[in-house]
Chain A
Amino acid sequence: MIGELSRKDAAEKFAELSKRDFENLSFPKGSDEFRKDIIEYSKSIKSTIAESNGSMYEYDLRLGLYFYKKINEVYNFSERDASQDGKWRYISLVLLPDVVYSRWTANETRFFSHPTRIYFKSLWWYIHLSWQGSEEKTLEILKNNTTDDVVQLVERIGSLGYRIDLYREIMNYYGNLEVSRKGRSAGIFRKVMKLNTTRGKMIEPALHNGGTRGYVKELFDYFD
């Protein structure tokens, strides 16, 4: 079961782990197999990426996909869980602190203090908001993105929450743009997300007569 950690407890736990440089850690009972799978996978992609001169984005993407699949399976993890920051603080500081540490060292924003930057939380929502029905299809549309795209997507939650269907459609459209298309390197994703925030105040994307897809196409076409 995924427990919860209050912000106060998270701050204390973080201070305690930092003092020990994240060494000699102990973990909750029953988490061994889950932890072992995540850690082994993390090591294997790290070495593959080192050999092929890959980016940190590639590491985050691969680990994110694997983590998303595992935690949903093993812990029956869902949107309900993923919307509770207490659970993410628990995952960061109790379940997988060593994995977060190996990616970010003792950076408190990635453990608990910045709610949209908690490492595994941002990975989970990045994958969830991009999900295309299967791991392969999701990987396919995300493989050419960057760490900035993760931030642009996950941090644009708005005051009422994510429109999940809309974001999946945007990620699909963006993922299928030609890499060579000029717009892509010119930060088109950021622009599209900003335009969406503005338009979304008056227009409800799902109610557009071209459907969500038609709405998304208009967003991208605007910058052509």
Chain B
Amino acid sequence: MSSELKFYREMNEKLFMKIGYEAEPVSLSHTLNGQIRKLVLEDDAQFEMGLDENTVLIEDKDAIWDVNEHDLNIHFKCYINNPQFLFGGNGVATDDAKVGFALRWHSKSSKQRGTEKVKVIDRSIEGRCVLEHTLKFSEKKLFGELTVELVLYLEEPSSVVSPSYASNSGTVLGVLDFKNFVIDGQSSAFPIVEVHAPEAPLWYVTFNYTDVMSDSFTEENIAINLNMAHKNYNIVSGKKEQMNNPVLTEIISSALHVIVEKVMKEDDSQNILNGNGFESGSIGEAIFYFITTFNWDISSPEKLAASIRNDWESRVGGEGF
């Protein structure tokens, strides 16, 4: 979740424990000759990929399912044992409001996202609340990876204004759970691209973003271009893997300097420094991360240049990005 400062109550650790959330394992299926076929996954593949418990590699044990030919159904079932705690004094909604649960999905690599409502409840609910829903994706829709979140949201606000409670219908009040699905293996990398630009220098940075707070930190929006047409290109040899090449290290340090200075001139720079309002994966988040986690010093150009190099040179050859 973003670290934006909110003026209304949201789900927190304490409330999450009180409501008693439980989930059954997610199950997958698809249509085959008009019938629903359960998808059994290759266990070894999960293990070999070193995936965490929230990530599922979709590899059919019987090698029948193919994203190009078959749809994909993802079935979720979970329980909220004490839903009443969501309302009133220590809850996230007033006693006369309605809250809902929804599955919100996104796939950056498929350039798409969506949301489906699962259930709406109010204070009068008795006993445990069962949430069950199937997300259906048609064949040839998804590419790369998919993330699905179970979110709690405000369906209908109180009829009277209640400070400290969210007041807009559709406001997301918390993420209860999430799962990642891998359909096509790994993607995404540091935004270095190789270009063929006869008149241009060995390297240069290009900016194509519209909004630093939402546009992703990828080559579509910010790119460090290495020019294959340049006579010195062989010195950097264009191999992104060779991060310990000193010339390449220097290029990247300089390019990152340019990027930080540029973004710090945007209207949103103060929000970035405060860690407010940017979306996950955005340029704003990346810059926030560089500055806070890697201790880049933006107080002056010379300090910035030195701190980027200190940090970057200490990491190349090591873990890298």
Residue ranges of A at the interface with B (Cβ–Cβ < 8 Å): 7-8, 11-12, 14-15, 76, 78-84, 113-116, 125, 155-165, 197, 201-210, 215
Contact A160 B281 (CB under 8 A): yes
10 further interface pairs, Cβ-Cβ under 8 Å (given A7-B193, A15-B196): A79-B110, A83-B111, A83-B143, A156-B210, A156-B211, A159-B214, A163-B114, A197-B214, A204-B151, A209-B155
Contact B141 A80 (CB under 8 A): yes
Cβ contact of B228, chosen from A8, A84, A197, A202, cutoff 8 A: A8
Residue B216 at the chain A interface, CB threshold 8 Å: yes
* Contacts A/B (CB < 8 Å), 7 sampled: A78-B139, A115-B208, A160-B113, A164-B114, A206-B170, A209-B156, A209-B170
Contact B169 A159 (CB under 8 A): no
Q: What is the 8 Å Cβ interface bit string for chain B, positions 89-104, against chain A (1 contact, 0 not)? A: 0000000000010101
Contact B172 A203 (CB under 8 A): yes
**B window 207-222: CB within 8 A of A:** 208, 210-211, 213-216, 219-220
Which residues does chain A contribute within 8 Å of B171, judged by CB atoms? Answer: 202-203
Residue B237 at the chain A interface, CB threshold 8 Å: no
Closest to A10 in B: B196
Residue ranges of B at the interface with A (Cβ–Cβ < 8 Å): 2, 4, 6, 67-68, 100, 102, 104, 106-117, 139-144, 151, 153, 155-156, 168-172, 193-198, 208, 210-211, 213-216, 219-220, 228-229, 238, 277, 279-282
Closest to A12 in B: B196
Contact B100 A207 (CB under 8 A): yes
Closest to B140 in A: A78
Contact B108 A160 (CB under 8 A): yes
Contact B117 A197 (CB under 8 A): no
Contact A159 B102 (CB under 8 A): no
Those 8 A-B pairs whose CB atoms lie nearest each other, nearest first: A11-B196, A208-B170, A78-B140, A160-B106, A206-B115, A115-B220, A209-B169, A159-B216
Which residues does chain A contribute within 8 Å of B214, judged by CB atoms? Answer: 158-159, 197, 201
Contact B196 A14 (CB under 8 A): yes
Q: How far is the CA of A204 from the CA of B116 in the complex (A)?
A: 10
Contact A76 B140 (CB under 8 A): yes
Q: How far is the CA of A108 from the CA of B219 in the complex (A)?
A: 15
Smallest CB separation, A152 vs chain B (Å): 9
Which residues does chain B contribute within 8 Å of A113, judged by CB atoms? Answer: 195
Which residues does chain B contribute within 8 Å of A207, judged by CB atoms? Answer: 100, 102, 115, 117, 153, 155, 169-170, 172
Contact count A vs B, C-beta below 8 Å:
143
Q: How far is the CA of A140 from the CA of B210 in the complex (A)?
A: 28
Q: How far is the CA of A113 from the CA of B104 in the complex (A)?
A: 32
Which residues does chain A contribute within 8 Å of B141, judged by CB atoms? Answer: 78-80
Q: How far is the CA of A15 from the CA of B228 in the complex (A)?
A: 11
Smallest CB separation, A222 vs chain B (Å): 13
Which residues does chain B contribute within 8 Å of A206, judged by CB atoms? Answer: 102, 114-117, 170
Contact A80 B68 (CB under 8 A): yes
Interface centre among B106, B114, B156, B170 (most CB of A within 10 A): B170
Q: How far is the CA of A33 from the CA of B203 in the complex (A)?
A: 41
Which residues does chain A contribute within 8 Å of B109, judged by CB atoms? Answer: 83
Closest to A109 in B: B208
Contact A11 B106 (CB under 8 A): no
Contact B102 A163 (CB under 8 A): no
Contacts A197-B211, A208-B170; A80 near B142 (Cβ below 8 A):
yes
Which residues does chain B contribute within 8 Å of A7, judged by CB atoms? Answer: 193-195
Contact A204 B115 (CB under 8 A): yes
Contacts A12-B196, A79-B140; A163 near B170 (Cβ below 8 A):
no
Contact B153 A162 (CB under 8 A): no
Contact A204 B196 (CB under 8 A): no
Which residues does chain A contribute within 8 Å of B107, judged by CB atoms? Answer: 161
Q: How far is the CA of A113 from the CA of B227 in the complex (A)?
A: 13
Q: How far is the CA of A98 from the CA of B57 in the complex (A)?
A: 41
Contact B140 A80 (CB under 8 A): yes
Contacts A155-B210, A159-B282; A83 near B170 (Cβ below 8 A):
no
Smallest CB separation, B260 vs chain A (Å): 19
Contacts A158-B214, A209-B156, A210-B169; A80 near B282 (Cβ below 8 A):
no
Closest to A158 in B: B214
Which residues does chain A contribute within 8 Å of B68, judged by CB atoms? Answer: 80
Contact B208 A114 (CB under 8 A): yes
